[in-house]
Structure 1
Amino acid sequence: MKFDPCLYPATLIKRYKRFLADIELPNGDITTIHCPNTGAMTGCAEPGFKVWYSLSDNQKRKYPGTFELAQNNQGHLIGINTGRANHLVVEAIKNNKINEFADYQQCKTEVKYGHENSRIDVLLSDDNKPDCYVEIKSTTLLIDNCGYFPDAVTTRGQKHIRELMTLISEGKRAVLFFCVQHSGIKEVKVADFIDEKYGTLLKEAIKAGVEVLCYGCEINENSIEIDNKLNFICD
């Protein structure tokens, strides 16, 4: 996925109120941009980080700039915009970059399903195999070269795992997909030290037959795309 229009560089001053970030432009001006990430963003948005942002021409937006990328002190590039994760996975599926999803005839997004008023991120279907429901999670929390999810307690994420287990009981295929938008992450674990209930549910889901896939991304200031498969470690 190429960034179109192109991104602009800046320096992060601070991220605050979850959805806002103040940045310093190369000419010294200070401006506020939208931060499309509801997580804790631990280690992803520290003051002084080099960042990149996109600009919208939508006149109705209060903040036309959107926080897209950050670079930490180790030089790792991080995808901040969690909304990009679904697009990245769908693009990779259509370009046959994810072997586990090969040969499905149809790919739909944001389809209503389940018993808890949910929408699945991706629904893959084929006449010759069970429907495949894919729940996508953007992963950026880095600790000692390992990625962790979630980075904050997530009741919504817990609901999604319950829904995936129900799908398995109905004879469908269910996949939890960690889209790793952090160049420093080499493997992924569940952050049960942050959300113990999420960790317990995920382990139950794996035993029930829910699949877990992790893929990293190739990231630069011009583009971001699904690149390589990473290991998921379930302790």
Structure 2
Amino acid sequence: MKFSAPLVGGRLVKRYKRFLADVLLEDGSAVTAHCANPGAMLGLKEPGSRVWLSQSDNPKRKLKYSWEVAEADGVLVGINTAHPNQLVEEALQAGRIEALSKFDSLRREVKYGKNSRIDMLLEQAGGARTYVEVKNVHLMRQAGLAEFPDSVTARGTKHLGELADMVREGHRAAMVFLVQRPDCARLDLAADIDPTYADAFKSAREAGVEVYAIGCDVRLDGIDAVKPVTLVI
């Protein structure tokens, strides 16, 4: 995935109201950027941190800038949760998740479950279906170890139950964790942050839901999901 234009650098002043971030740009101007990330962003929202924003030329947008990348622990971290589905789709189309590489068509945001939409539905010519849910990961509390979630996620817990239901109906279902920080080679659950999600995850795996994790190469010109991440769950 390439950014459509060069990112604009600056320093984070504060992130607030979940979806807003005040940033002091390198040219000295102050802007408010959209933060497309509903999580706690632990370790990524410290005032003074280096950040990079994309800039929109859409006159209908209330906020011209969007927060895309943060620097943490000396590496670039992708924080925009609007991108993971595209990144995982590109990885699937390129065959980078081998266990999910055999499909004839891929559809996004297909209705399923209880008033939900699956991130990706993989279908084969013979009718076989694989339901794929994507979760963004950027929490690191121990060097090299990514964790999910970084806040309580009732929505994530609901998705696990619905994936398990798809397996019970005779389909494949998979959870793909997209790790948007290149300094993590392993992934675990942050059960202390959301024990309910951890319990639901265990039940989903026991029901037959598959789990995969893929890491990203994060650059200022784009982001690509390119490398396997080891599950220690």
TM-score (norm 2): 0.97
Unpaired stretches in structure 2, ≥5 consecutive residues: none
Q: Give 1:94 shift.
A: 1.6
Q: Give 1:96 shift.
A: 2.1
Residue 197 (structure 1) aligned with residue 160 (structure 2):
no
Unpaired stretches in structure 1, ≥5 consecutive residues: none
- For residues 33 and 156 of structure 1, the distance between their equivalents in structure 2, rounded to whole angstroms, comes to 25
Residue 20 (structure 1) aligned with residue 20 (structure 2):
yes
- For residues 100 and 44 of structure 1, the distance between their equivalents in structure 2, rounded to whole angstroms, comes to 32
Corresponding residue for 1:120? 118
3-state SS of paired residue (1:2)? coil
Q: Give 1:6 shift.
A: 2.0
Corresponding residue for 2:4? 4
Question: What code does the residue aligned with 1:59 have?
Answer: P
Corresponding residue for 1:177? 176
Question: What code does the residue aligned with 1:81 have?
Answer: N
Corresponding residue for 1:94? 93
Corresponding residue for 1:224? 223
For residues 92-120 of structure 1, the C-alpha deviation after alignment (integer angstroms, 9 at most, x for no partner) is: 11222221221200000000001x21100
- For residues 97 and 6 of structure 1, the distance between their equivalents in structure 2, rounded to whole angstroms, comes to 27
Matches within 5 A, 1:105-116: 105-114=104-113, 116=114
Question: What code does the residue aligned with 1:139 have?
Answer: V
Q: Give 1:11 shift.
A: 1.1
Greater mean deviation of Cα atoms: 87-96 or 194-203:
87-96
Identity of aligned residues (%): 43
- For residues 181 and 206 of structure 1, the distance between their equivalents in structure 2, rounded to whole angstroms, comes to 23
- For residues 164 and 233 of structure 1, the distance between their equivalents in structure 2, rounded to whole angstroms, comes to 21
Corresponding residue for 2:29? 29
3-state SS of paired residue (2:128)? strand
Count of residues paired in the alignment:
232
Q: Give 1:228 shift.
A: 0.6
For residues 116-148 of structure 1, the C-alpha deviation after alignment (integer angstroms, 9 at most, x for no partner) is: 211000000002462000000000110112111
Matches within 5 A, 1:34-45: 34-45=34-45
Cα pair distance change 1:129/1:187, threshold 3 Å: farther
Greater mean deviation of Cα atoms: 210-219 or 96-105:
96-105
- For residues 212 and 101 of structure 1, the distance between their equivalents in structure 2, rounded to whole angstroms, comes to 11
Question: What code does the residue aligned with 2:78 have?
Answer: G
Corresponding residue for 1:53? 53
Q: Give 1:184 shift.
A: 2.0
Question: What code does the residue aligned with 2:116 have?
Answer: S
TM-score (norm 1): 0.96
Corresponding residue for 2:134? 136
3-state SS of paired residue (1:192)? coil
- For residues 6 and 133 of structure 1, the distance between their equivalents in structure 2, rounded to whole angstroms, comes to 35
For residues 169-214 of structure 1, the C-alpha deviation after alignment (integer angstroms, 9 at most, x for no partner) is: 0110000110000122221111110111100010111111101100
- For residues 136 and 152 of structure 2, the distance between their equivalents in structure 1, rounded to whole angstroms, comes to 15
Residue 62 (structure 1) aligned with residue 62 (structure 2):
yes
Cα RMSD of the aligned pairs, angstroms, is: 1.0
- For residues 32 and 64 of structure 1, the distance between their equivalents in structure 2, rounded to whole angstroms, comes to 8
3-state SS of paired residue (1:6)? coil
3-state SS of paired residue (1:88)? helix
Question: What code does the residue aligned with 1:217 have?
Answer: C
Q: Give the conservation status (yes or no) of the 8 Å contact 1:12–1:50.
A: yes
Q: Give 1:47 shift.
A: 1.1
3-state SS of paired residue (1:217)? strand
Corresponding residue for 2:78? 79
Q: Give the conservation status (yes or no) of the 8 Å contact 1:130–1:171.
A: no
